[in-house]
Amino acid sequence: MDHPGPTTRIPDEPPRSARPQPGGPVRRPGGRSAEVRRRVLAAVRTHLVEHGYDALSVDAVADRSGVHRTTVYRRWRDVGGLLADVLAEATSDDWRPPDTGTLAGDLVAVNREVHAALTADPPVTTALIAASFRSAPAADALRTFWIDRYDRCAVIVARGVARGETPARTDPRRLLVAATAPLYHELLLLRTPADPHLADRAARDAATAARAGAFTD
Amino acid sequence: MDHPGPTTRIPDEPPRSARPQPGGPVRRPGGRSAEVRRRVLAAVRTHLVEHGYDALSVDAVADRSGVHRTTVYRRWRDVGGLLADVLAEATSDDWRPPDTGTLAGDLVAVNREVHAALTADPPVTTALIAASFRSAPAADALRTFWIDRYDRCAVIVARGVARGETPARTDPRRLLVAATAPLYHELLLLRTPADPHLADRAARDAATAARAGAFTD
DNA sequence: ATGCTATCGCTACTCCAGTCGCGTTAAGCA
DNA sequence: TGCTTAACGCGACTGGAGTAGCGATAGCAT
């Protein structure tokens, strides 16, 4: 599943105030509004890397980005809104689930992406999930994202059915949740130290279950 | 797994200030300290029922319990500490995992308890989990609780092995996490509406997986 | 009954999250 | 080029989370 992961690049922070250029006005693609957004989101990512989620605040982001705190409150409402926007910026509309040729392979690939997102630096995904318990914008963004991603991944199960790897009546979402839920549970709720085999094991356990007829009524 | 559930009884809130009784001093079993604790924890539960987790605060609990806010901060540190103590009060040292005669039956029984806890009123468990992202006392209490409960449930898997329902090499914790994680994932992270069949399905899916040799390396 | 200690209550304080009103400025359009 | 509007900056404000110091009181031991 597509989450912001370690390959998400942090763009350089632009200068605090753009200086007039020789020969013409300062160029601001997307207008002042877009530049404000770029600076603010860059500040969120940098602050997360350096200080973690607990230290993330609207004031901290405003100070680092040079955008006034009132503007940040006005546009993003709270820390959760900031994180939701960082996620929105980082995720790709054209993301597609992996296609490795086997159900287990696809689930392993998805779980590796989820694992990478949950252990990434900056910890955007874990921060957004934590924020979702306190912030409506964060909860909304997360729900929307997950609905979309679980929908897109249904094709993994359809391929499995087509290959005869799993019964035709397999509930796709139920299987996908079974594959991914242990990662979220272990890393976010139980807070167990990251186990490099966790993602693959959970995926393979789910594939074994599917083959055996689980996830069907 | 033992969570405070709908059967947890809310004791009546004692009067704000105990009045001298005819013929002798006010009786305070456990001393003033114990009475303060009873009143504070009762206030936490009542406030959760009436206003939910978002409205829970140290000041609200102090007002409702008649215990000074400084005392509440001093003893419980934050809202998470309050919720951790409510959990401690409600959980039973002698809880044992269910023993229904089958692996699937045991997992279903555990999952029903987890489901009851996650959908209970007052929502102590969900509140504590939400608070654990912000409060060290809450995170510590939850971790300790879960380590204990997953350990105690290992016997469910041992019985399954003894009955020949699952291979001898089955990893107990991995199976238990696979059975319970979808409930937490759906109800707390994905926030999907409570599905009466969720608990049973997740449990049976895990039992099917175990029978098929999942959760072994 | 008295003294000591742990616990609690009280008030004032700091700091931070969040908001408001108003002026400034960027940007688009006629 | 000028006007209008949207977005931003600024400073002041409110309310709530959290803390500190000190006095009062409950409870226990002598």
The C1' atom of D12 and the CA atom of A58 lie apart, in whole Å, by: 19
Closest CA of chain A from B186, distance in Å: 8
Same domain, A188 and A110: yes
**A165 is written with which tokens?**
């790897």
**B84 is written with which tokens?**
């951790």
* pLDDT above 70: residue A213: yes
Which residues 6+ apart lie within 8 Å of B98 measured at CB?
A: B105, B106, B109, B110, B113, B156
Nearest chain A residue (CA) to B127: A133
The C1' atom of D21 and the CA atom of A194 lie apart, in whole Å, by: 45
Domain contains B185: yes
* pLDDT above 90: residue B194: no
Domain contains A177: yes
A105: amino acid identity, one letter: G
Domain count, chain B: 1
Domain contains B56: no
Same domain, A138 and A199: yes
Same domain, A135 and A199: yes
The whole-angstrom separation of Cα B25 and Cα B209 is: 63
Domain contains B11: no
Does the interface ipTM go beyond 0.85? yes
Of A40, A172, A52, A194, the C-alpha closest to A124 is A52
Same domain, A112 and A70: no
Q: What's the pLDDT score for residue B20?
A: 34
Over the stretch B26-84, which tens digit does the pLDDT of each residue have?
Answer: 556 667 889 999 999 999 999 999 999 999 999 999 999 999 999 999 999 999 999 99
Across the range A161-184, mean pLDDT stands at 98
Bases in strand C with any atom closer than 7 Å to a protein CB? 7-12, 16-21, 26-28
Closest CA of chain A from B208, distance in Å: 6
Nearest chain B residue (CA) to A129: B189
Report helix, strand or coil for A56.
Answer: coil
Domain contains A200: yes
Over the stretch B1-28, which tens digit does the pLDDT of each residue have?
Answer: 554 332 233 333 333 333 333 334 455 6
Residue recorded with tokens 């959990």: B87
Question: Which nucleotide's C1' atom has the smallest distance to the CA of B73?
Answer: D18
Q: Per residue, what are the HEC states of A149-181?
A: HHHHHHHHHHHHHHCCCCCCCCCHHHHHHHHHH
Same domain, A203 and A138: yes
CATH of residue B134: 1.10.357.10
Helix, strand, coil percentages for chain A (3-state, nearest 5): 60, 0, 35
DSSP single-letter state for residue B64: H
Same domain, A127 and A182: yes
A5: amino acid identity, one letter: G
* pLDDT above 70: residue B178: yes
Chain A residues closer than 8 Å to B211 by CB = 212
Strand D-proximal residues of B, range 44-63, CB below 7 A, are: 57-59
Report helix, strand or coil for B84.
Answer: helix
Domain that holds residue A121: 103-211
Across the range A88-97, mean pLDDT stands at 91
DSSP single-letter state for residue B91: S
CB spacing of B209 vs A212 below 8 angstroms: yes
The whole-angstrom separation of Cα A199 and Cα A113 is: 9
Domain contains B68: no
CATH of residue A70: 1.10.10.60
Report helix, strand or coil for A21.
Answer: strand
The whole-angstrom separation of Cα B196 and Cα B187 is: 12
Interface of A with B in 10-69 (CB under 8 A): 54
Domain contains A37: yes
Domain contains B58: no
